[in-house]
């Protein structure tokens, strides 16, 4: 019988395999795995052996994406601590904290967890890897357009970005970290493997993948044009995202 403890260990091993494959396949991402927050802070006892992947619950993610830390001021890298040792995980989302200089953005505030918006609204269909990818897009100001009125945690950053970049991301043409379908879902390119559509965490099988194309995960084909937007951000009454 699969106990909650065994299911959590299985999920952590899946996270480890997926996250490591994402980093191996994307030059914009470096990842270190640890069993505790104290180990991560000291950068000791890094978990590198897949056989120990079930112990990994803290990740030190280095994003090599130039991002704003002030008007006209960039840093080349941002380090984020992703903590899956939270009550209820994976039904509740991991918490993320910036370890380096706080990005100049409405989604980041010093001493506060990074906003992940609606990424975890359907926990049976997402992995920690989706949060990692989301962080990369936030750092590049490349997310779904929101319209007018949204301020988040930094209205001045929104105003600066709107004036300087309009609706464009900071860096064009970035190849974001991708969920490796072969690792996450057992899909091998060129095969006709059929995967049963089941609860990702209900048993040992894996669910059909979320569409991971760069545009589809956060945007829609009928999204408004820059002329229609007027503003990259809008308010939906739910606070910062």
SS3 category, 149: strand
The C-alpha atoms of residue 20 and residue 170 are separated, in whole angstroms, by 26
Write down the pLDDT at residue 236: 38
Q: What is the 3-state secondary structure (H, E, C) of 67-131?
A: EEEECCEEECCEEEEEECCCCCCCCCCCEEEECCCCCCCCCCCCCCCCCCCCCCCCHHHCCHHHH
Residue/partner pairs of 224-231 with CB below 8 Å, 24 or more apart:
224/145, 226/166, 226/167, 229/145, 229/147, 229/167, 230/147, 230/148, 231/146, 231/147, 231/148, 231/149, 231/150, 231/158, 231/162
Least confident range of 8-12, 227-231, 236-240: 227-231
Per CATH, the number for 4-229 is 3.10.110.10
Average pLDDT value for the chain: 81
Whether 100 has a pLDDT exceeding 50, the answer reads: yes
* pLDDT tens for each residue of 171-195: 999 999 999 999 998 876 655 443 3
- Mean pLDDT value of segment 95-105: 97
* pLDDT tens for each residue of 141-165: 998 655 555 667 899 999 999 999 9
* pLDDT tens for each residue of 19-60: 999 999 999 999 999 999 999 999 999 999 999 999 999 999
Whether 121 has a pLDDT exceeding 90, the answer reads: yes
The answer to whether 179 and 210 have CB atoms below 8 angstroms apart is: yes
Write down the pLDDT at residue 157: 95
The C-alpha atoms of residue 136 and residue 50 are separated, in whole angstroms, by 24
- Mean pLDDT value of segment 213-236: 35
Whether 232 has a pLDDT exceeding 70, the answer reads: no
Domain parsing of the chain, residue ranges: 4-229
């Amino acid at each position: 019988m699969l106990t909650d403890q065994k299911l959590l260990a299985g999920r952590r091993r899946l996270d480890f395999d997926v996250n490591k494959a994402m980093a191996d396949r994307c030059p914009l991402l470096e990842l270190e795995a640890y069993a505790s927050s104290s180990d991560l802070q000291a950068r000791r006892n890094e978990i590198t052996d897949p056989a120990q992947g079930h112990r990994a619950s803290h990740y030190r993610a280095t994003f090599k994406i130039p991002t704003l830390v002030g008007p006209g001021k960039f840093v080349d890298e941002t380090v984020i601590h992703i903590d899956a040792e939270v009550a209820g995980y994976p039904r509740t989302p991991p918490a993320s904290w910036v370890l380096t200089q706080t990005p100049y953005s409405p989604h980041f505030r010093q001493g506060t967890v990074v906003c992940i918006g609606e990424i975890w609204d359907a926990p049976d269909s997402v992995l920690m890897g989706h949060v990692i990818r989301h962080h990369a897009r936030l750092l590049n100001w490349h997310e779904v357009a929101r319209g007018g009125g949204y301020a988040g945690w930094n209205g001045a950053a929104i105003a600066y970005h709107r004036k300087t970049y309009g609706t464009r991301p900071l860096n064009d043409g970035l190849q974001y970290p991708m969920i490796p379908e072969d690792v996450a879902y057992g899909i091998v390119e060129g095969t006709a493997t059929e995967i049963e559509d089941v609860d990702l965490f209900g048993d040992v099988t894996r669910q059909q993948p979320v569409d991971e194309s760069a545009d589809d995960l956060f945007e829609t084909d009928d999204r408004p044009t820059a002329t229609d937007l007027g503003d990259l951000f809008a308010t939906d009454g739910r606070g910062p995202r």
